[in-house]
Chains A and B, each alone.
Chain A
Amino acid sequence: MNGYPEAVGRIVTDYLERVRAQLRLVPAVEQDEFLREIQSHLYDAYQQMPGQDDVARILAVLRNFGEPAEVVAGRLPGAMVRSGARRNLPLYVVGGIFIALFGIPLGAGGAGVLVGLLCALAGVLIAYFATVGSILLVGSLLMLLGAVRFLLPHLWDQLVAMGFIQIGPPVAEFWDRFSSSEQALMLIMIASIFAAAGLGGLWLGKYMIRGLRFLFVLAFDWMRRGAQRIRRGLHRGPREVAGRAATATGFRS
């Protein structure tokens, strides 16, 4: 930086870069001209600033000159936005603390309850289909045993002798009153009842899946809309603050 000691030049350059950063929305030509003007001012002020310590002098000059945001105010459409936001900073801090203390736990609790309900419903559905699957399995086994009793009576006798098929005394006494073909028919009938119950369960399960899917979609849509509202609120907030600040000060940005 011409005309400055090295350390002072670095400080001035850093300050001008901060001003330039604030002017990023301003056309480059205007940026350059404005920075030249500030540079000229800082140089004159530095020359006039009394003192022996060069760094202390330039720091005093910059302190008197003001923060970059104050300097560029009026040249930048968003300048008043930052100014307004700063003025309402304590309110935002208090709001943030309240949200952190109450809003987030309540929101997290609500989301937790919702997720828990959905998980519970999903669990019920899984248990339901497990039961239906068991009924179908039992029906299939009974159907198989009926077929064995009807088509392969020797195999049935062998399975009973080997202990693979065990029937308790009261049921066995009742069971032995019937012929093998009648036993096979009874087994097939009972298997059919189980199969019908299982298939009916599957048919009902289709509606349960649709209902649960509807609840899931409803819940996730609700959460998505909530998140969108919060995002819009966060984006809109600073603009409204800026609008109020501009109106209150009567400043044209």
Chain B
Amino acid sequence: MEYLSEGKERRITQLRKGILELAVMGVLYHGRHYGYSLVRVLSASGSIALKEGTIYPILGRLDRDGLVRSEWVESDQGPPRKYYALTAAGRQLFDELSQEFELLVSLVQQNWQAAEPSGRGEEGGRAKGVRQ
């Protein structure tokens, strides 16, 4: 059972990591953010608990792949902030990934409903609400 528990945790972590990148792109899709503000927005949803520092490897990868652009902006409250915004390529990719994600969610829900044909309607409905 310990192995199962460990495997469950590992899979949940992988799942969140995979989705986190899409979530970051989703936030940047609607406006530019610096690292801390991005974390605040993501944490405000309450669905993903993350170490704040883990956002930077994601931003680094997106930057390296040309999906985001960044610029330093002076702040009157402290050190300068590095703002990120999706590039055109990033926006296009996000649109495509969102569609893929939607398909995956529906696939997961469909399999889940097939395995549990009754008595789970309420949770299934809540699962549909994952995509915002």
Tell me if A37 and B52 are in contact (CB < 8 A). Answer: no
Looking at chain A's contact residues, the main secondary structure is helix
| B52 cross-chain contacts in A, Cβ below 8 A | 41, 45, 64-66
| B75 cross-chain contacts in A, Cβ below 8 A | 40
Contact of B35 among A33, A37, A72, A74 (CB under 8 A): A37
The CA of A252 and the CA of B80, in the complex, are separated in Å by 30
Tell me if B35 and A70 are in contact (CB < 8 A). Answer: no
Tell me if B14 and A249 are in contact (CB < 8 A). Answer: yes
In this complex, the interface size class of chain A, counting residues with CB under 8 Å from chain B, is 20 to 34
Kindly provide the distance from the CB of B12 to the nearest chain A CB, expressed in whole angstroms: 13
Kindly provide the distance from the CB of B131 to the nearest chain A CB, expressed in whole angstroms: 22
Tell me if B78 and A47 are in contact (CB < 8 A). Answer: yes
Q: A-B pairs with CB below 8 Å: how many?
A: 74
Tell me if A66 and B54 are in contact (CB < 8 A). Answer: yes
* Number of residues from B at the complex interface, CB < 8 A: 24
Tell me if B35 and A47 are in contact (CB < 8 A). Answer: no
Contact of A71 among B56, B61, B79 (CB under 8 A): B56
B34 within 8 A of partner (CB):
yes
B121 within 8 A of partner (CB):
no
The CA of A42 and the CA of B113, in the complex, are separated in Å by 44
A32 within 8 A of partner (CB):
no
Tell me if A47 and B77 are in contact (CB < 8 A). Answer: yes
Which residues of chain B in 12-43 are interfacial with respect to chain A, using CB atoms and an 8 Å cutoff?
14, 17, 34-37, 39
Q: Interface digits, A46-80 against B, CB 8 Å rule (1 contact, 0 not)?
A: 01000000000000000011110011111100000
Kindly provide the distance from the CB of A14 to the nearest chain B CB, expressed in whole angstroms: 15
A39 within 8 A of partner (CB):
yes
Tell me if B78 and A37 are in contact (CB < 8 A). Answer: no
Q: Interface digits, B53-73 against A, CB 8 Å rule (1 contact, 0 not)?
A: 110111011000000000010
B82 within 8 A of partner (CB):
yes
Tell me if B54 and A71 are in contact (CB < 8 A). Answer: yes
Among B14, B53, B58, B61, which residue has the most Cβ atoms of chain A within 10 A?
Answer: B53
The CA of A70 and the CA of B80, in the complex, are separated in Å by 23
| A66 cross-chain contacts in B, Cβ below 8 A | 51-54
Contact of A40 among B34, B58, B61 (CB under 8 A): B34
Which residues of chain B in 68-107 are interfacial with respect to chain A, using CB atoms and an 8 Å cutoff?
72, 75, 77-82
The CA of A75 and the CA of B78, in the complex, are separated in Å by 26
Tell me if A64 and B51 are in contact (CB < 8 A). Answer: yes
Tell me if A252 and B61 are in contact (CB < 8 A). Answer: yes
A34 within 8 A of partner (CB):
yes
| B80 cross-chain contacts in A, Cβ below 8 A | 36, 40
Tell me if B81 and A40 are in contact (CB < 8 A). Answer: yes
Nearest chain B residue, comparing its CB with the CB of A44 = B36
| A73 cross-chain contacts in B, Cβ below 8 A | 54, 57
Nearest chain A residue, comparing its CB with the CB of B50 = A66
The CA of A76 and the CA of B58, in the complex, are separated in Å by 13
| A34 cross-chain contacts in B, Cβ below 8 A | 56, 60
Kindly provide the distance from the CB of B67 to the nearest chain A CB, expressed in whole angstroms: 14
Between A and B, 8 residue pairs with Cβ closer than 8 Å are A2-B79, A3-B78, A34-B60, A40-B75, A41-B36, A65-B52, A73-B54, A75-B56
A-B pairs with lowest CB-CB distance, top 7:
A74-B57, A66-B51, A71-B53, A66-B53, A44-B36, A65-B53, A40-B79
A residues near B (Cβ < 8 Å) are 2-3, 33-34, 36-41, 43-45, 47, 64-67, 70-75, 249-252
